[in-house]
């Protein structure tokens, strides 16, 4: 097996069980390895540290499959890892019976570059690293055997694949598209899932608990849902008894899907829902001019900072949108604000929101910190996995 030899003192991250080895940590490759091949990882003095997937075109030169030098990376390895990942979810009471569930959360589940989400009897897999791409067949077979799912769709079309030197890959890899589409029930609300064309794997499962929370807070309240996508937060607010819900997104197709989701729920009051296709920043400024205010505002924008290099520009965008939110919030109102940017840490995000409140002239307090659902765990040795950060803020 090919081996990568690390520079002196560069083995510390591996000893801490961090799954990434950057280009600057690798002294040289001993033997020949193609992209995605499994390689042994050795310290500069020859001590074995485990096995990793080789990625010569990426700054993350290798991703650790195992920290056990004696463990074999083969089909059986992936079946074990998939089974372990699924079993972890089974012990969490709030995840039992969920029709939409993340089964594998990449590095945090010991499978770098592998995302798998389940929607009913359909599993969507996303492979973002060379190693995951190399073991596609083994991963898909393991998912089918462990879950008993009827079909698997691959959505390996994220930008991250380009950094690994990989082309986009999408399509059904097991079974066929179900007649009538895919519909799940989430906290009593029916949602149609577009696994072929929707964002990520078709939906944002990480916000499941936060959508439920919004429903619990919405009785008798006016709600503004910004960057609403297909209406997950909006429908939970309606189900929770909101007096009216205004939802904004810049994507017409996303709003069409949101309206279709509302139509799936005949028990929800459609006359209390308003959908607006617009740039959220511009729309909120118009509301400010018009004197419109709301009891609850949800700010769940797209990723403004994919990396730390974009943090400064992203911070200005987060400051702007939260400032607008505070100015439109009724006294005693709640701002549910999020960042999914890996380049913006929790401490910085809190400072940004605090600055926005100050500039808006509002006294405010954090009443709850918000994060991803339990099926999106964060490896203790892999803090980069904590991408979703949220605050529930109450303003006087």
The domain that holds 134 is classified in CATH as 3.30.750.80
Q: What is the 3-state secondary structure (H, E, C) of 315-372?
A: HHHHHHHHHHHHHCEEEEEEEEEEECCCCCCHHHHHHHHHHHHHHCCCCEEEEEEECC
Q: Which residue's structure tokens are 């998939």?
A: 82
**Are 251 and 163 in a shared domain?**
no
Query: Which helix (H) or strand (E) segment is 392 a member of?
Result: strand 389-395
**Are 259 and 390 in a shared domain?**
yes
Spot the catalytic one: 149, 226, 228, 340.
340
Q: Is residue 311 very low, low, confident or very high in pLDDT (cuts 50, 70, 90)?
A: confident
**Are 134 and 272 in a shared domain?**
no
Separation of first and last alpha carbons in the chain: 64
Q: Is the per-residue pLDDT at 305 higher than 80?
A: no
Query: Which helix (H) or strand (E) segment is 26 a member of?
Result: strand 26-30
Q: Is the per-residue pLDDT at 317 higher than 70?
A: yes
**Are 154 and 90 in a shared domain?**
yes
Q: Which residue's structure tokens are 């009827």?
A: 150
Q: Is residue 313 part of a domain?
A: yes
Query: Tens digits of per-residue pLDDT, 142-158?
Result: 999 999 999 999 999 99
**Are 177 and 224 in a shared domain?**
no
pTM over 0.85: yes
Token representation of residue 304: 């403004």
Q: Where are the alpha helices (DSSP H) in 240-279?
A: 252-263
Token representation of residue 171: 């399509």
Three-state DSSP state, 255: helix
**Are 158 and 211 in a shared domain?**
no
Last residue of a domain, one of 46, 66, 86: 66
Q: Is residue 324 part of a domain?
A: yes
Indicate the number of domains in the chain: 3
Q: Is residue 190 part of a domain?
A: no
**Are 174 and 216 in a shared domain?**
no
Looking at residue 248, what is its pLDDT?
98
* Enclosing domain of residue 145: 75-182
Alpha carbon distance 123, 146 (integer Å): 11
Residues 6+ apart with CB under 8 A from 91: none
Looking at residue 308, what is its pLDDT?
65
Q: Is the per-residue pLDDT at 86 higher than 90?
A: yes
**Are 58 and 90 in a shared domain?**
no
**Are 159 and 303 in a shared domain?**
no
Could you give the count of Cα atoms lying within 13 Å of 366 in the half-sphere of its Cβ?
15
Among 60-74, 195-209, 236-250, 293-307, whose mean pLDDT is lowest?
293-307
Catalytic, 228? Answer no
Q: Is residue 194 part of a domain?
A: no
Q: Is residue 344 very low, low, confident or very high in pLDDT (cuts 50, 70, 90)?
A: confident
Alpha carbon distance 173, 24 (integer Å): 36
Q: Is residue 356 part of a domain?
A: yes
Q: Is residue 306 very low, low, confident or very high in pLDDT (cuts 50, 70, 90)?
A: low
Looking at residue 304, what is its pLDDT?
80
């Amino acid at each position: 097996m090919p081996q990568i030899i690390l520079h002196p003192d560069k083995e510390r991250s591996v000893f801490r069980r961090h799954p990434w080895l950057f280009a600057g940590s690798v002294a040289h490759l001993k033997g020949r390895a193609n992209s995605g091949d499994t390689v042994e990882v050795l310290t500069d003095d020859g001590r074995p540290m485990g096995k990793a997937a080789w990625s010569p075109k990426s700054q993350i030169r290798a991703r650790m499959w195992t920290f056990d030098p004696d463990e074999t990376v083969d089909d059986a390895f992936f079946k074990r890892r998939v089974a372990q990942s699924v079993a972890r979810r089974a012990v969490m009471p709030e995840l039992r019976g969920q029709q939409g569930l993340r089964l594998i959360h990449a590095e945090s589940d010991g499978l770098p570059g592998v995302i798998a989400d389940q929607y009913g009897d359909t599993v969507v897999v996303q492979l973002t690293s060379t190693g995951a791409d190399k073991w596609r067949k083994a991963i898909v077979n393991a998912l089918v055997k462990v879950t008993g799912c009827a079909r698997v769709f691959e959505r390996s079309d994220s930008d991250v694949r380009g950094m690994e030197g990989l082309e986009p890959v999408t399509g059904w890899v097991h079974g066929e598209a179900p007649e009538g589409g895919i519909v799940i029930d989430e906290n009593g609300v029916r949602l149609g899932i577009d696994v072929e064309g929707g964002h990520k794997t078709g939906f944002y499962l990480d916000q499941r608990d936060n959508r439920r929370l919004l429903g619990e807070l919405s009785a008798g309240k006016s709600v503004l849902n910004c960057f609403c996508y297909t209406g997950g937060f909006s429908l939970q607010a309606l189900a929770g008894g909101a007096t009216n819900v205004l939802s904004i997104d810049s994507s017409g197709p996303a709003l069409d899907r949101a309206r279709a989701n509302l139509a799936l729920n005949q028990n929800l009051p459609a006359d209390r829902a308003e959908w607006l296709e617009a740039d959220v920043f511009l729309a909120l400024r118009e509301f400010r001019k018009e004197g419109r205010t709301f009891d609850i505002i949800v700010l769940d924008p797209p990723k403004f900072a994919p990396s730390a290099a974009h943090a400064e520009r992203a911070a200005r965008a987060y400051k702007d949108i939260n400032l607008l939110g505070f100015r439109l919030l009724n006294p005693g109102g709640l701002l549910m604000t999020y960042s999914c940017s890996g380049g913006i840490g929790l401490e910085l995000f809190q400072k940004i929101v605090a600055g926005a409140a100050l500039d808006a002239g509002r006294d405010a307090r954090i009443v709850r910190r918000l994060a991803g659902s339990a099926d999106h765990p964060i490896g203790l040795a892999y803090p980069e996995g904590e991408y979703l950060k949220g605050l529930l803020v109450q303003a006087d």
